[in-house]
Amino acid sequence: MVTATSHVTHAASRPAPPSLVFPPDFLWGTATAAYQIEGAAATDGRTPSIWDTYSRTPGKVRNGDTGDIATDHYHRWPEDVQIMSDLGVGAYRFSVSWPRVQPTGRGPAVQKGLDFYRRLTDGLLEKNIQPVATLYHWDLPQELEDAGGWPERATAERFAEYAGIVAEALGDRVKTWTTLNEPWCSAFLGYGSGVHAPGRTDPVDALRAAHHLNLGHGLAVQAMRAVLPSDAQMSVTLNIHQVRSLTDSAEDVDAARRIDGVANRVFTGPMLHGAYPADVLADTAHLTDWSFVRDGDTEDIRQRLDFLGVNYYTPTLVSAATGDGAHHSDGHGVSEHSPWPGAGQVAFHRPPGSTTAMGWAVDASGLYDLLRDLKREFPALPLVITENGAAFDDYVDPAGAVHDPDRIAYLHAHLAAVHRAIADGVDVRGYFLWSLLDNFEWGYGYSKRFGAVYVDYPTGRRTPKSSARWYAEVARTGALPATDRAH
């Protein structure tokens, strides 16, 4: 008979399971976005973006929250850089605020705006943190939206000019660049469902915006390569949806195809294959003839990339619609208008299992499957996880600490999925935790916390959570412990 005491002793004597060791040159980073953290909304020449306007529109953002102050990173960036240094991360992915650099979206830059990013990148380099700059994380200058926004071709042309300005100013400091972050959100949530800025709800405008975001990406890469050193790394970040059909029925499989088309292939087609997929054009033919795509556009869009940025949070589970085809459960906010043009007869389902504070299913197998599928379709293209993380209902305990074991478990599972993908031959070069700080979470305002660092918004006080210390140890050792337990 084995007593409880002898059982515990026996278990404790077993050797610990081996940790998962990542390649020695694997890049460990963290990420943020300008409007979500900077604040200083009217400082040093910055003018309103579409998110300033949208967040001031009654009923659009929870609690009427805005990014006017956010986490005040504009003034507190030295403290934030020191936090990153203390955590030992090797890279920081930030976005440049277009209206801070080029307030009207055209013409010369405001040097005070560029100076902020010069100071930030200098501070990062002094701490041996690699700056990774994203040019567009959704903050279109309001003046360009007033002229038509992304549905207009001129916006893509203005974006290329802006890209050239920033590249010329920071190209001696920044070696890794991303043109767009999640253009799907910009096009289909901004102009389709209206749950993101600018809040428009026209499916044709959404498709036009998708094309002009694609074109802006391609023109920006050309403009940047013309002024950057030859060793500069160019990328785009896509929130590739890992789409799964509810069943293997022909109807459900076709529903998944439709969503994959308007979620993913409407961007990867022209960017990486040089053409829009025929089935996407057919699915949306009742809405538009795509005459806004001009001769030569897809050649301009398809530019050489050094890696593809991949953002992943949760898989997407769909079926053929059996009712009214509503899209309220697609995880992207509630609207009477769909962000899925050409997919009106598709229903969305919540995958089984636990969920985050966003209501998103926790399923790391989706990340593994996504990386495997990208390897199969684009075998020569390196990948970087540019965002992955989770929101939970974090709080400061009476001792002044923030413990977030659910986030540690989430990160552990997803990093294990990345490790498995690498072991199976997928060329994944790095991982950026979303997010460094709690921040303005778009339509949810300040009600959702994704940060590894807790922010007390009234005072701005930063408190690293348990997950920050856990991630710091993973980054320091380059190894994922066998369990998700915090140290």
Q: Phi first, then psi: what are they for 153, rounded to 5°?
A: -60, -35
| 350: nearest Cα among 304, 318, 325 | 318
- End-to-end CA, the chain: 34
> Does the annotation mark 143 as catalytic?
no
Tokens representing residue 412 in the block: 């552990």
Nearest to 301 by CA among 210, 217, 411, 358: 217
Other C-beta atoms closer than 10 Å to the C-beta of 416 total 17
**Is residue 132 within 8 Å of 94, Cβ to Cβ?**
yes
Q: How far apart are CA 449 and CA 446, in angstroms?
A: 7
145 is catalytic: no
> Catalytic residue among 145, 182, 336, 441, which?
182
User: CB neighbours of 374 closer than 8 A, spacing ≥ 6?
Assistant: 240, 308, 310, 381, 383, 426
Catalytic residue among 38, 152, 387, 441: 387
Report the C-alpha gap between 451 and 351 in whole angstroms: 24
Q: Where are the beta strands (DSSP E) in 82-223?
A: 91-95, 130-136, 176-181
Count of beta carbons in the 10 Å neighbourhood of residue 114 = 19
DSSP 220-274: HHHHHHTTS-TT-EEEEEE----EEESSSSHHHHHHHHHHHIIIIIHHHIIIIIS
Please give the C-alpha separations between residue 272 and each of 117, 131, 369, 399, 421, in angstroms, as whole numbers. 30, 25, 20, 51, 21
Measured CA angle at 272 (ends 271, 278), to 5 deg = 80
Which run of H or E residues covers position 434?
strand 428-434
Beta strand 233-238 pairing with 176-181: parallel
Active site residues: 182, 387
